[in-house]
Amino acid sequence: MDIYAIRTPEELLKDNVYPGRGIVIGRTPDGQKAVAAYFIMGRSENSRNRIFTEKEGEVFTEPFDPSKVQDPSLIIYAAVRSWENNLIVTNGNQTDTIRDGLQAGKTFAQALESRTFEPDGPNWTPRISGMLTFTPGDFTYQMSILKSADAEGSACNRFTWSYVPRNGLGHFLHTYVCDGNPIPTFQGEPERMALCDDPDEMTRRLWNSLNEQNRISLYVRYTDLTSGRTESRLVNKHA
């Protein structure tokens, strides 16, 4: 097994009915842009009743049909926020926890020490987070998963990875291994995904690789490392 192999979005996603929510962070093959992507999927009516909205460069999950919302606590949140030279991407309201922690002088990992996995036993959905930190002409990034230590949800295990970007390489972290009952949580290190120079191609390949029945929304942002200019793409199943 080649531990340094980089697989395509199709290879990582096409045969997985339910990877849950996923974050991809990395650098384009030409080395000129940083890439951040986030997608959500859903099995229940409550989870599927969502869309992404972008407001002033920040991304939020919102109900598609407010009359059908059953429990907003775990499905409505800010998924993408910025603070100074940092871009934060997460699968829950820990986006605000990280931003508030940075404002208080904490690191990415320190900010997340106050949080655990989601209280949705028996699945105990992990909280996954990523943060890009930009410097002139370059960036670094970190990723984190907070997951249950056992089937009872009695303790939280915390894993954080720090990366130096490599051209064409993205790291992919998602909440679940696959579908199941209960749903098995993500195992091991973030997976290595091949990225594209073109944001439209990256968006198309990610979206088309997600299970058609369970995919809900996708957001992709490219940041030019020289100019700082950003391009974003947003896809909602419920237009």
Mean pLDDT of the chain: 96
Provide the pLDDT for residue 44.
84
pLDDT digit string, tens, across residues 110-160: 999 999 999 999 999 999 999 999 999 999 999 999 999 999 999 999 999
> pTM value?
0.97
Residues 195-206 have a mean pLDDT of 98
Residues 170-181 have a mean pLDDT of 97
Q: CA torsion 201→203→209→211, rounded to 10°? A: -150
Provide the pLDDT for residue 71.
77
Whether domain 9-236 has CATH 3.30.420.40: no
Residues 51-76 have a mean pLDDT of 88
69 pLDDT band, cuts 50/70/90, is confident
Listed range (31-45, 62-76, 189-203) with the worst mean pLDDT = 62-76
Provide the pLDDT for residue 177.
97
47 pLDDT band, cuts 50/70/90, is confident
Residues 34-38 have a mean pLDDT of 98
185 pLDDT band, cuts 50/70/90, is very high
Provide the pLDDT for residue 22.
98
Tokens representing residue 152 in the block:
């009872």
Q: Which amino acid is at 122?
A: P
Residue 31 has pLDDT above 90, yes or no: yes
Tokens representing residue 129 in the block:
């987070």
Residue 74 has pLDDT above 80, yes or no: no
State the DSSP code for 185: B
Q: Are 130 and 170 in contact (CB under 8 A)?
A: no
Dihedral sign computed on CA atoms, order 93, 222, 173, 159: negative
Provide the pLDDT for residue 15.
96
Provide the pLDDT for residue 67.
84
Backbone angles phi, psi at 194, to 5 degrees: -75, 135
Residue 239 has pLDDT above 80, yes or no: no
